[in-house]
Structure formats: structure tokens, C-alpha cells
Chains A and B, each alone.
Chain A
Amino acid sequence: MGSTASTLSKIPDVETLMQETGFTPAHMVRLYDRFKALDKERKGHLCPQDFGAIKELAENPIGDRIVGAFFSQGQETLDFHSFVRILAHFRPVDKDRPRDPNVPEPINSRSNKLKFAFQLYDQDKDGKISRAELLQVLRAMLEMQVTEEQLESIADRTIQEADLDRDEAISFDEFRKSLEKVNIDHKMSIRFLR
């Protein structure tokens, strides 16, 4: 894999990135190739339009939100490091590695995965999923299949179920609690090819 090494050398600061994200060199090369493929104009960074070129993403009901999640607030560009860091959320949790309390939580920890999902709902970044925000997501996901009334009753019910402090919105803690029994490590992980 000589090409691996040569590609790796092109990536700036690759060691720390790998350390941080837990990706293997093979992953890094693969992702770098992908990054370059997306970056058609060779600007060295990605902008939302580049994601628009992925045609499957256009079919995804919440695709735009996910793309939005790649760009931190106010920023229009995405460099390779951020790109990898975001994708690292979806790396499966490695069970073997013992948890070192001193090391900060890895990006792919359960709560980081949940945070990523949470911010997709919470578009105004006030730390809460309001009824309107939930409705938007539901509307996107269910498309034309249900009436507005049905959407609203689903949303009402959802909020009511998760809402512990009765503020008619779902905070992150409530969000996490409502998904307590779900194996997030399984459901929010992708097998990255080695």
C-alpha cells in the first residue's frame, strides 16, 4: 500500500486527526479520495453546493439538514478535517479499547452520536426541539402520506411522551432519556470500509 502512505502524506496534520477520530490510515485515504471527488473545483474545501451534486442526497427527506450539520454555524466551507470529524460520529464504537477517563470522550461516543441527531431536529440551536421543529422533521420524513392533523397528533404525542419538565419541548436530556433503551451504537453507526 505504497499509495496509502503517499496519500496520507498529502493530508496535513493527519496523525492528530487519526488520533482524534480513530480512523485507520486506510479510512483516511478513502475519505480523502472522497473529499477530493466531492470538491470538484479543487478549492480545498467543500461548500453546500458540492453536496448538492450527490444525487441520492436529494432524495433523502432530511438530506439538507444533514448537509447543514456538516457546516458549523455561520460557516460556508468545510475543510477535510471537519469533514472527517463529522463522519467520525458514525464510526462504530470499538469495544476493545478501554475507556480512559482522562481522554476526552471519543467523537463516536453514544452521547456524541445522539447530539448529532439532536441538532438535526434543533434547527434554531436553542437546545430544545420545539413542536414546530419536530413537525418540520416529521413532515419531511412522512412526505405526503399523512394529513397535517395526523402529523400534529404524532408530534403532540411525541413531545408529551418525552417531555419531562412540561415545557412543551424536548431538551437534549429528554431526547437522550427517550432513547435510553435503544442501542445507539448499533443504530447510529456505519461500517466504514477498511
Chain B
Amino acid sequence: MLSLTLVLLVSAACEASTDLYVSETPLPPELVRSAVSPVPTPAGSPYTAEEYGHPGIALARSADEPASATDSGESSHHHGGGYKIVQWEWSYVQTPYIIAIWLLVASVAKILFHFSQRFTTVVPESCMLILLGLVLGGIVLMANKKQLYQLDPGLFFLFLLPTIVGDAGYFMPARLFFDNLGAILMYAVVGTLWNAFCTGFCLYGVKLAGVIDDKVEAGLMEFLLFGALISAVDPVAVLAVFEEVHVNEMLFIIVFGESLLNDAVTVVLYKVYISFVEVGPGNVQTADYFKGVASFLIVSIGGTLVGLIFAVILAFVTRFTKKVRIIEPLFVFLLVYLAYLTAELFSLSAILSMTFCGIGCNKYVEANISQKSRTTVKYTMKTLASIAETIIFIFLGISAVDKSKWAWDTGLISCTLIFIFVFRAIGVVGQTWVLNWFRLVPLDKIDQVVMSYGGLRGAVAFALVVLLDGEQVKAKDYFVATTIVVVFFTVMFQGLTIKPLVKWLKVPRSTNRKPTINEEIHERAFDHILTAVEDIAGLNGYHHWRDKWEQFDKNYLSKLLMRKSVYRKSELWEAYQKINIRDAISVIDQGGNVLTSARLSLPSMASRTSFPEVTNVTNYLRENGSGVCLDLQVIDTVPGAKMEEETEMHRALAGNLYKPRKRYQSHYSRHFMTVGEKEKQDREIFQRNMRTRLENFKSTRYKRHKKDRSQKKRKGSDAKEQESSDKPRRNVSWQDKDPVVVPVEFENEKNEQSEPEKDEDVGITFVARKAPETPKERPKSVPAALDVCQSPAIVPPSPTCGEKNLPWKSGVGTLPPCVSVEATKIIPIDLQQAWNQSISSLESLASPPVPLEPQHPRVSALSRLGGPPRPLSTGSVPAPPVTGQFQFPGGKDEEEESALSQQQQEIQPLMSSTRPPPPPPPLPAQPAGKRRNPCVYLRSLVTASPPGSEPHSRGPTQL
């Protein structure tokens, strides 16, 4: 058998395998050495040695001569009794170590296979893994004269199989699955029964005829048992092979669905026959057959029910994980796995249970959990399934290299091979013929050929046959050998040839194409049409029942299992957003700029055409990639066109560029994720919107030419913004992220504000009152009602920090009205609740929330500390429009324009710097200005602000 292995290896000579073989060959001497005599191994090699070394020997070594190991370590060692600095703790880490090493080997093997693109397109990975397993098995065998590893059924059924089935079930395309459920069930139940009985009986017949050697001591029951376990199509093998073949979805789902659902049949047949074998064929009574049938019903239906129950539990649990997003994925894994274990516990069909749990919960869970959790679930499941599959195939290979399993009987093996192939083909053709009477989309000849050929046997059969009791089933060794050969033949030979076959037969391939929004819409419409037509024609067909189910789902299940916030979301809308995001990503991938190209490529968003001027400037700047930096340190005292331009640019950038992001935030909470960058950006966008809204409001005072439609539209978009505010706006398309002006009235804003944004709300409620004196007292005199219902404050331009501090920049610039928001924003996330509470408690008092109104931090900081160490003091900086040398035409115009307006005169900006230096503000100066703060010194000012001056405890600043 070993020579066979080598022959196989050589015949399949290829880069990967030879590579591997070469790389493994140097090991044996070391292995032998390390296993036989525990000499200290060179520093570099202990890992590889341990990998193959017998655990027991290693253990002994670690017990006897712990000191010897220290040689390999580089640390100094003191011999003799007493304290040892370095100890060899192999026995302590042995089990996890071996597991980890095996996983590593499997993973590295995968990497190696995929080095050669050309090669992997021809040879399926599963074949390569089995070959690798054979090689590794051979090495272990040569080293130890005995096979140490094999695919342990316990390990397989409890750990490896569930990961694969869980992945398959959870990501099963539900619609496709249920569309073809009839065919799948037919093949899974009838087909498997047919295969099992025919194979069993025919093998028995062949045995009677004398083709099978007499050494194979097996009667009818044994052969039926063997037929049962060998006849089931294996999900692992099917998945591994078909994933690379890419046949069309329908064909795939039928074969794969069959391989999953036939589990119940296999389990029952297996158990029934084992009990028959135990009591002896003669003692089987008629009642036992009926018990078998009943058992089948219980195992299959019970398994399905257990799965569905767990699906409901899982979906229901994820409804309430909003606060513990971080363990959301864990719930998914745990409950899906528990579905499997529970079914095993009651000896029901575990695969069926897990599959239906996955299918059932997917829709609700995906809707409930966050985007990040979805990604986590997806990748973790895929990783686990992939590694489990790899391990399974490697271990299948290793298990084959075992002297105890070499009970070869040519007659049995060849007959089995022939029978399973022939009966599979006959079964498929016969069942398809029946099915095609009922199917809307008939399965044609080519489909039948692929289905027959795709009936792969795999690890399930192997694990089942290994589980047989050698005492009861005398021919166990023969069965094991036969099973191994059958598995290898189907996986390797059929797996290798199915690709060319599919190509040759021109089987329609699956297109990995995502549906367009048109298709999404029209297909939904088609569903409704077909349902209606079925109703009109009086046919209670498939669409009728599907529609009934959807109604039920919508009216009851979704209500029960989905969060309220997501329940209201439509699938079509989700699809739309997915498509949008995909587009945006592809735009970015092509090197485009979302802000510009998204708008260019989506001209249909005509309703958003009225971008504010500033945004266009920004876009213009970005488009041209001009090297404008925020930090205009160059002091150019000559006022002129250039200056004006620069100032404008500066303001545009300061107002519209997003904050530079901190790449890595240090956060130490294990239980909460800090607010993601995205969320921050969302807030920034929100602030931006608010500001532009205010600006717009201002401008509409002059010219009331706003288009009603666009206004309405934006209102909607705003509502949406709030709707998705509990999730960090993952669904919002890129266009929405543009700093769109949202000229919504404040009242709307107020009413629509959803809870999570309350804090921001409070921050924004600053109302500029008519030019009062001290900003500190003024807000308190404002009735709360006014705050809420007042039209938005108009904030005339006031200098940005840079402008204030650079002497040539004065008298211009808009102080964004969102400063206070920023102040709020800086509250660390874990203090936000306290913050909210304090705010609400304040609100409940007679005094309006305005007192919280933070002073513009910069202003306050500056004032407190006696102004910046610059030629211009704070007081004089903002000196309205006309301050000779620092005046800019543009800024002046703006100022004058605003000065013209009456509102402007009435409502002075809260933070208007014309005011005398204010006393310490109610809130500490927050580093609000860091976004456009080119002056480093400000930071120190800001952080130096006295912490005791605020009424509410606030967290440390984020600076």
C-alpha cells in the first residue's frame, strides 16, 4: 500500500506534491531519532519533530529528562536540582499543540496548492489534500511502524462535520432550496433508500455467487448495513468538488441539498441495521420494520423541528443584542452548534437539524445583527468550514495508510464500485423521470448525467464504517478498506473528471453575477404576478403557498423575530443599498473619487443637484488634486486676489473637509467597541448638514426660490438618516454621504430626532439671541420653548481659528454653528449615557437646555488665557468688517451682506467675537477646533482649561 502511495504520488507528479514531498522527506531521520532516543534536537527543529513524534514518547521524555530540552532553548541553564529556569512542559501543552500544528499543516498545504494557478484549475483541492494525507500518513507509518492518526469518528461528527454543515446551512440560498425542495427530498429519501437496498442486496447476491472471497464473513444484514452507509452522497465531498466546478445553481442545490437531507435516511438505516445485526437476522420481527419506518419519521421530522426551534431562539436572541454587539457572532455559532448537538443528543438527524436551523434563522439574524457581526459570522464560518474540510481530507488520506485497514478484497471493492455507480445512475434517471412530471423546469439528460456522476461518497461513510463494531460485524476490515477505496475513487477520480465532463457536456454554468436593481424589482413583481395568476386560475400551486408563507412571515414571524428598526426595512431597499454600495466600491476601486464620480455616474439623482456652492468648491479642489493644505502657515501680508482665493479655500476646506482620522484608537474596553470612524464621520456629516442647513436658511431669507421638490426630498433623506442612526448608517448609500444641504425646518428636525441623536440635538440647540452681553447668562433667559421652536440661528461668518491667529486672516470665515456639537461629540462613549442623563435632568428643570450651550471653546480658551500670543488680541481680531489691513474683499462683502439683513442685526451670533472676552464658559473648552487647527499651541491652551469649571462631569478629552 505504501508503494501504491508512492506510485500515486509519482504519477501525479506535479509542483505542489513534489514540493511537499521533498520538503517532508528530510524529516524521518529526525523523527526516528527524536522518537527513539530523546536526544536534544537542534534548536530549529523541535517543532517539526513534535509534530510527528509520538505524544506518548514525547511525554515520557518531558517527564524523564526535562533538562535535555533546555539545550534547545537559548537561555542559560543551571543543572542539578532546585529551580529550573526553563522547563519542558510538553505534556502540559501536548493536545492543543498537536491540534494547532495540524491546523497549521492543513493551512500551509492549502497555500502550497494554490501556488500554481494552472494546476489547481485542473486538480480539485480535495484530491490534493488526500494525496498529502497519504504522504503524511506514509511518513508517520515509516517513523512509528504504526499509524497514530486517523479520522476519529467522534472528532469528525462532533467538530469537523458541524462546522461544514453549519456553514452550508447558514448560507444556503433559501429561495433556491425551497424552490427545489421537492426534487431534493425525492433524491434524498427515495434515492438513498434505493441505493442502499440495491447495493446491499446485490452485494449479497454477488457474495452468494462466489465473486466475493469467503474471507469476507458477512450475511445479508451486514451487506445491507454496508449498502446503507456507502450509498449516501456526502455533503463534504460534494461541496468540495462542486464548489470548483461551478455548475448552475439549480443543479448544485439539488445535489448538495440531497447530500444534506439524506442524512436522516442514512442515520436511520444505519441504526436499524446495526440493531438487526446485533439481534441476528433470524430474530428480526415484522414489527421491527415498522419501527424502522417510524424511526425514520421521528429522526427526520424531529431533527428538522429541533433545528427550527433553535432557529427561532437564535433569531429571537439576536433581537436584543444591540448593546452587546461584540458577542453577536458568538450567539450565531453557539446556537447553530447547539442545534446540532441537541439533535445528536436525542439521536435525531443532526445534519438535518443544523441545516434547517441555518436556513431558518438566516433571514432574521442577518437583519438583526450589525454589519460587522455579519462579516464576522461569514468569515469565521467560512474559515472554520474550510479548515475542517481540509483536515477531513488530509485525515482521510492518513487513515488510508494503516496496515490494520488493508483487508483488500478485489471482488468486494470492484463490485461495490460498480454497483454504487450503476444504481446511482439508474436511481437518478428513474426519479427524474417521475419528477419531471411535476417540475416546472424539467431536468434534462445533461443534468441527470451530472447528478449521477456527482454522487460522491466521502468522510461520512468512512466515519460510519469506522464506528462499526468489529465484534458484531466480522467483515468490518473489508468494509473499511472498501469504503476507503470508494471514497478515494469518487473524490479523486470523479472529482478530477467531473470538470472536463461538465465542460464537455456544456452544462450551464453558474454566473457569479449580482442581480441588478431592475431584476430585483421585476422578479418581485413576477412573484406577485404568478401568485395572482395561480389564484385566478384556481391552482393552489407553489406560488400560492409561497405567498401564504410570506404573508405569515411578514405578519407574525418577522414581527416576533426582528428588531423593530429593521422590521420596517424592506428587502428591496436593502438590495438597493447593497447595489449602491457595490457601485461606490467599484468606483473607488477604479481610482475614482466618490464625492465627484458618484455624482457623475448617477445623474439620475437629479433631485440632489442643488449642492451648496462650498461643496462644489471642495469637489473642485479635490478633483484637481491641488496641493492645498489646511495649514496655511505662510504669512503673506499682501492682501490681494491670491489672498482672497486662499482665504476662501481655507474656509471651504476647513468647513468641508472631513477630519483627519486617527488610524488607531487606543481603547481598552473589552466589551465595547469605540465609536467607529464611520460613526464619527456620520456625526461630522450631520454637523455639516446642520451647518449648511443654517447657511441655506440664511440665504433663503433673501431668495425664496428653493425648489419644493428637492426640499421634500431632503426631508425624507433626513428622516432616513435618523432612522438608521442606531446602526452606524451602514445602509446609507454614498450619495447620501455627500454633504448634502438639508434645508429642513428645525421643528421637523426636532420631532424626527431619534433617541440616539439626542445628545447632538442638545448640542445643536444653540440659539443666538439678540445681542446680549454675557453669553454665559443669556441662554438661561431663553425659554425652552423658544429654543425648540425657534427657527435656526443664523450664524454670521466668524473667523476660523486659523484665520484668527494668522494676522492676515481676520474678519472673515464662518464659525461653524456646529461647534457645540463637536463639544458634545468628544464625550467618550462610555460617559455618554451619564451625559445624556445629566442633560435630561437639566431639561426637566425649568431652565432650558441651553445653559449647556458650550462657548466656542477656542474663544473661551483664548479669552481665559488672555488671548493668543499673536500680534492681534482676541478682542480686536473679530473687529467687524472694517479693520483696515486685515480685511478681505470677500469677507467684507459677506459681512456687509449679512449686516444688511435685519435678522442679522437682531440675532447676533452667539459666539460673535465682537463680544468682550467672555467669562469662563459653562462647559470646559473642548478641543473642538482640532479639525482645522493648524496652531499647535491651541491644544495646550485647550487642555489647560480648568476642569472644575463645568457643571457636568465630562470625560477626558480625546486629544
Contact = CB atoms under 8 A, between A and B. Distances in A.
A33 to B, nearest CB: 8
B753 to A, nearest CB: 16
Contact of A156 (B532, B551, B605): B605
A11 interface: no
Contact of B518 (A67, A145, A162): A162
B207 interface: no
Given A146-B570, A156-B605, A187-B526, A56 B535 contact: yes
B542 to A, nearest CB: 7
B719 A31 contact: no
B607 A152 contact: yes
Contacts of B715: 149
Interface in B516-549: 516-519, 521-526, 528-539, 541-544, 547
A48 B263 CA distance: 51
B751 interface: no
A38 B537 CA distance: 9
A190 B536 contact: no
A-side interface mostly: helix
B720 A158 contact: no
Interface stretch (B571-579, B633-641, B919-927): B571-579
B186 to A, nearest CB: 16
A51 B606 CA distance: 41
Interface in A162-191: 162-163, 168, 175, 178-179, 181-182, 186-191
Given A147-B720, A150-B716, A192-B539, A87 B529 contact: no
Contact of A142 (B526, B532, B534, B572): B572
A124 interface: no
A61 B572 CA distance: 15
A142 B529 contact: no
Kindly name the residue among B438, B524, B570 whose own CB sees the greatest number of chain A CB atoms within 10 A: B570
Given A120-B529, A150-B573, A156-B605, A186 B441 contact: yes
A178 B526 contact: no
A178 B521 CA distance: 11
B720 A60 contact: no
B518 A158 contact: yes
Interface in A6-27: none
A93 B576 CA distance: 31
Given A117-B525, A179-B518, A149 B717 contact: yes
Interface string A50-80: 0100101101111100110010000000000
A141 to B, nearest CB: 6
A5 interface: no
A141 B720 contact: no
Interface in B432-488: 437-442, 444
Contact of A188 (B442, B529, B535, B576): B529
A186 B576 CA distance: 24
B603 interface: yes
Interface string A36-52: 01100000000000010
A116 to B, nearest CB: 8
A191 B576 contact: no
A34 B438 CA distance: 21
Interface in B689-746: 713, 715-717, 719-720, 723, 733
A108 to B, nearest CB: 12
A138 B521 contact: yes
B602 interface: yes
B731 to A, nearest CB: 10
A161 interface: yes
A111 interface: no
Contacts of A156: 604-607
Of listed B529, B713, B719, residue having the most chain A CB within 10 A: B529
B604 A60 contact: no
B568 to A, nearest CB: 6
Interface in A89-104: 90, 92, 95
Given A148-B716, A190-B534, A192-B539, A154 B573 contact: yes
B670 interface: no
B587 to A, nearest CB: 15
Interface string B577-610: 0011000000000000000000000111111000
A104 to B, nearest CB: 22
A158 B533 contact: no
B754 to A, nearest CB: 14
A179 B513 CA distance: 13
Contacts of A51: 536
Given A62-B525, A120-B529, A156-B604, A34 B537 contact: yes
Nearest to A144: B568
Contacts of A186: 440-441
A29 interface: no
Contacts of B580: 157
B533 A145 contact: no
B11 interface: no
Given A152-B713, A156-B604, A191-B439, A54 B525 contact: no
A157 B440 contact: no
Nearest to B604: A160
B667 to A, nearest CB: 34
B517 to A, nearest CB: 5
A154 B570 CA distance: 12
Nearest to B179: A186
B573 A161 contact: no
Contacts of B536: 38, 51, 54, 57, 66-67, 70, 87
A31 B539 CA distance: 10
Contacts of A112: none
A157 B604 contact: yes
Nearest to B731: A150
A152 B547 CA distance: 26
B525 A120 contact: yes
B518 A54 contact: no
B526 A117 contact: yes
A149 B528 contact: no
Max chain B C-beta neighbours (<10 A), residue from A67, A161, A194: A161
A91 to B, nearest CB: 10
A187 B175 CA distance: 13
Nearest to B437: A194
Contacts of A159: 604
Given A66-B532, A190-B539, A147 B523 contact: no
B543 A190 contact: yes
A1 interface: no
Nearest to B511: A181
B569 interface: yes
A182 to B, nearest CB: 6
A155 to B, nearest CB: 9
B440 A145 contact: no
B118 to A, nearest CB: 30
A188 B531 CA distance: 10
Top 7 nearest A-B pairs by Cβ distance?
A149-B716, A160-B604, A145-B570, A178-B518, A34-B538, A66-B532, A56-B535
Interface of A: 30-31, 33-34, 37-38, 51, 54, 56-57, 59-63, 66-67, 70, 87, 90, 92, 95, 116-117, 120-121, 137-138, 141-142, 144-150, 152-154, 156-163, 168, 175, 178-179, 181-182, 186-194
Interface of B: 437-442, 444, 511, 513, 516-519, 521-526, 528-539, 541-544, 547, 551, 568-570, 572-573, 576, 579-580, 602-607, 713, 715-717, 719-720, 723, 733
24 contacts: A34-B538, A37-B538, A56-B547, A62-B532, A66-B529, A87-B537, A92-B441, A117-B526, A117-B529, A121-B525, A137-B521, A141-B528, A146-B573, A147-B716, A152-B716, A153-B605, A154-B576, A156-B605, A159-B604, A162-B518, A181-B511, A181-B519, A190-B539, A191-B438
Given A154-B517, A156-B605, 20 more contacts: A56-B547, A60-B528, A62-B529, A66-B536, A95-B444, A117-B526, A120-B529, A142-B572, A145-B569, A152-B716, A157-B517, A157-B576, A178-B516, A178-B519, A181-B513, A182-B519, A182-B523, A187-B523, A190-B533, A193-B539
